[in-house]
A and B are shown apart, each in its own frame.
Chain A
Amino acid sequence: MTIAYVTIAGLLLTLVLLRQRHPVPGHLDVALQGWRQLQPLITRIPLALIAGSFLAALIPEAVVAAVLGDASGLQGILLATAVGAIMPGGPMITFPLALVLLSAGVGLAQMVTLITAWSVLALHRVLVFEIPTLGWRPTVLRLLACLMLPPLAGLLTMALALRA
């Protein structure tokens, strides 16, 4: 957790210094913009974490570990691709759920696959945003090009874990 604090503080300091070279907009305006974006999170994040913590206590860990654990290998990676693709909702739903699944024994490669599939395939987002704005042909073309990214990310993680 300390590294996370240091990273955030370092990035923030760099950006504050960078802004110092262009006096517009003022730091106060930026902070106000930040406050506007923070407001909806003040209620969401605590409730999401509490819900996640209770779900973690209820989830049958043996089942999760068997189908998506480190030992589930390529099969687990393919299953994680499917689960990630159909997982609905934004990051406020996905990341607390991911935390629950990690503590229930989902493997590292399978988790990377799941997050990647949720990011690039995201069928709910395809239906709600992508087809209406880009049209179905470009959407299909993008999905075809991105279909292999989640398993690839999982396999790369596996290779990395084997070397480490």
Chain B
Amino acid sequence: MADNTGTRRAQLRTWVDGTTMLFLALSLVGGTAVWMLRGTGEFVASLSTAIGMIVAIAPIVVGAVLIGAYVQALVPRSAMERWLGRSSGMRGLLIATVAGALTPGGPFAAFPIVLGLYRAGAAFPVCVTYLTAWSLIGVNRALVWELPLLGYDFTLVRILISLPLPILAGLLTRLISPWLAVERP
């Protein structure tokens, strides 16, 4: 019985965490401010815009989360580390770009991978390229957040422009590293 309440409490924490509370507070304060400063009409208009958007993006979010789960299942972390550990030079930077773009999840997922790679002897420019690709052209983040909220045109333009940037970051790292020696942790 006690075990059951524990699970239920953990369940509740996934649904109502700090971020959720922050947005709840922002919605309440924002909504009150709009209602008082701009009137009931504006309040109703803002709320219905938001509800329309929620309905429109719901299928995209569900699809994107499933895509993320399939990518994780098809490209396990061990395979990714194997590709990157052996690579160097321009080919290494290209592989790091693809691997970074495919890595789903937040910094808690990406940084342990980088640390593991670095300790295993991967070149530091390859690590920088990987991190840049993960943060800039991560497919999962673009599908879940950017595509539904900022739209197709914006996402496409930004990603196209960002495609060469991870490799550029790797090359710049190689250029700067003689002046800033990095010891392996």
Contact = CB atoms under 8 A, between A and B. Distances in A.
A153 B162 contact: yes
A22 B74 contact: yes
B161 A58 contact: no
B3 interface: no
Interface residues of B, number: 88
Contacts of B98: none
B2 to A, nearest CB: 23
Contacts, number: 244
A112 B161 CA distance: 9
B70 A149 contact: no
Contacts of B24: 47
Given A43-B20, A157-B157, A4 B106 contact: no
B107 A43 contact: no
A153 B64 CA distance: 26
B65 A54 contact: no
A129 B19 contact: no
Contacts of B57: 45, 49
A135 to B, nearest CB: 5
A71 interface: no
Contact of A99 (B149, B176, B180): B149
Nearest to A156: B161
Residue picked from A16, A53, A122, most chain B C-beta under 10 Å:
A53
Interface in A117-143: 119-120, 122, 125, 128-130, 133-135, 137-138, 140-142
Interface string B66-88: 11111111100000000000000
Given A51-B26, A116-B136, A157-B157, A141 B177 contact: yes
Contact of B74 (A19, A90, A141): A19
A150 B64 CA distance: 26
A133 B154 contact: no
Interface of A: 1, 3-5, 7-9, 11-12, 15-16, 18-19, 22, 25, 29-31, 33-34, 37-58, 89-96, 98-99, 102, 108, 111-112, 115-116, 119-120, 122, 125, 128-130, 133-135, 137-138, 140-142, 144-146, 148-149, 152-153, 156-157, 160
